[in-house]
Amino acid sequence: MPERLILVTNDDGLWAPGLACLAQVASRFGRVVAVAPDRNRSAISSALSLHDILRISELGPDRHTCDGTPVDCVLIACRSVLERKPDWVLSGVNHGFNLGEDVFYSGTVAAAFEGSLQGARAAAFSLHPKGDLAVAEAWIHRFLSSWEQLPLPPQRIWNLNLPKREPKGFRLTTQDTRSYHDVVEKRIDPRGTPYYWIGGDVGPIYAKSPGSDAEAALDDFVSVTPLHLDLTAPDLLARRSDFDAAFNGDGM
């Protein structure tokens, strides 16, 4: 049986401490190849560079940067850099949580989903912005030691969020909801042309609903959330008669 091939990536850039931590843990389970952005590409979601050329730079054995997005990194790694499909694609460790709706914006989570689409077992790892990577390392190792015991259907990933303090354990969680106090600030540049900053001084407020990722992570557990790409809303599918009455009725 060939040695397990593990691709590690992130959205914080190749030199991020979280990637070094993840690669260190992953190296205990197989050969690790890092292909990560050449700069911070946070909050870029699943962007794919269809209209730009992309360059890969090899900085050392099994260590590469890409001037594209996290999804670009995974796609190019799987189709060109690696000699075969990776067994695992691990993304992170992100500096800051990816809880609730954050998963839709996160380049970290998107990279894991791309790994799943390429046929690998995939997971995304995020840590409280004031968390300790040295503490997180042991819990990532514990997770990777056991995660193959749970079959993972296609187009599914695990999304892990590690708390600020020493975890009390793992929790299987749902995705929470959160509110952001986003600010769009309009300014004028020296030439009189308007420009905009998107941001906000107040961080997200999570609902912390029972059984959710936010409830677990903020209660010092490692939240482990199974995510899948199918965004179909089953509650609306169940209203097929209402749909037919609205769109296929006699009034059409």
pLDDT in tens, 117-162: 999 999 999 999 999 999 999 999 999 999 999 998 999 999 999 9
Query: Residue 205 pLDDT > 90, yes or no?
Result: no
The alpha helices in 37-185, defined as continuous H runs, are 70-76, 102-105, 107-117, 133-146
Predicted TM-score (pTM) of the model is 0.92
Span 5-177+207-247 CATH architecture: 3-Layer(aba) Sandwich (3.40)
Q: How many alpha carbons lie under 13 Å from residue 135 in its C-beta half-sphere?
A: 18
Integer Cα distance of 233 and 237 in angstroms:
7
Return mean pLDDT, the chain. Answer: 94
Burial group, residue 234, by CB count within 10 angstroms (0-12, 13-18, 19+): exposed
The predicted-structure confidence for 56-76, as pLDDT tens digits, reads as follows: 999 999 999 999 999 999 999
Residues of 13-25 as b/e, b for ≥16 C-beta within 10 angstroms?
A: bbebebbebbbeb
* Partners of 196 in the β-ladder: 186
Domain boundaries, the chain: 5-177+207-247
Please, what's the b/e burial string for 145-170 (b: 16 or more CB within 10 A of its CB; e: otherwise)?
Answer: eeeeeeebeeebbbbbbbbbeebeeb
Listed residue (79, 56, 58) closest to 68, CA to CA: 56
